Amino acid sequence: MLEKRTYKFDEMADYLGTRSAQGMRRKLNRYGVEFQEAGHGRLRTFTILSIPDPFPLYCVFDLGIDYRTDFKKLRDFTFFLLCDDDFSGRSGEMMEEYLHNGGYQISRQTIAKYIALYESKDLIATNGDIVYYRVYHEGQLQKHEVITKELYCQAWKVYWQKRREGEDSEFAFSLMYAFLKGVPRKQNKIVGNAFYSDTLNTLSELVAESFLNEKTE
């Protein structure tokens, strides 16, 4: 992770992935990093003076995440995923509703993309536990509510009983919906990979720092 200290040319080249001094400047400037240069050629040094937001830097240069990512949205999602136990145990649909209720406009598709991203880095995984919930409408709004496994199974029992009695799927579904006052859904819960706990802790600290800096600006 980039720190406020002096880096030799080769150190900075390895971290930023370029051996061009101009390329190094461009990458540091992209993330608002303040720095000073001294020396020439391979003897050049870079002294990092200020890093306004280390989170996107860490994502790009330490985790290998695409620099074109919307890091504000990724930061917001990561904050709730790692810092809010109530959030991490929800389904993708429920995560979307939870975020929207808090004023964070992150779609279900984007949430799924971020989950897949962190899974590809082996930072999170599903542990076999399942969250059961119902989806229903309240006016024009789609709502979600956690239910028990027993209630989930009872709802589907209503559906399959009517199907066995010869009723069509539409009618059986309507009875199941009436019984549950919603549609039964389930999804695996997300957990952090303990092997990468240091990385997860660093991410958690960086997003918390980013939030704090944003609120105090």
Q: Which whole number is the average pLDDT over 53-75? A: 95
Examine the pLDDT at 36 and tell me if it is beyond 70. Answer: yes
217 pLDDT tier (thresholds 50, 70, 90)? low
Residues 72 and 94: their CA atoms lie apart, in Å, by 20
Domain segments of the chain as ranges: 1-52, 65-123+193-217, 128-189
Residues 6 or more apart whose CB falls under 8 angstroms from that of 133 comprise 90, 91, 93, 94, 144, 145, 146, 147, 184, 185, 186, 187
Q: What is the mean pLDDT of residues 17-42?
A: 95
CB atoms within 10 A of CB 145: 13
Range in 41-50, 93-102, 184-193 the model is least confident about: 184-193
What is the rounded CA–CA span in Å between residue 178 and residue 172? 10
Is the pLDDT score of 216 beyond 70?
no
C-alpha of 85 from chain center = 13
- Alpha-carbon dihedral sign for residues 193, 195, 197, 202: negative
Work out the average pLDDT over 38-60.
95
Arithmetic mean of pLDDT, 131-140: 84
d(CA 155, CA 76): 35
User: How many angstroms separate the Cα of 34 from the Cα of each of 11, 30, 104, 152, 205?
Assistant: 17, 10, 30, 55, 21
pLDDT at 128: 64
Q: Residue 215 above 60 pLDDT?
A: no
d(CA 59, CA 28): 14
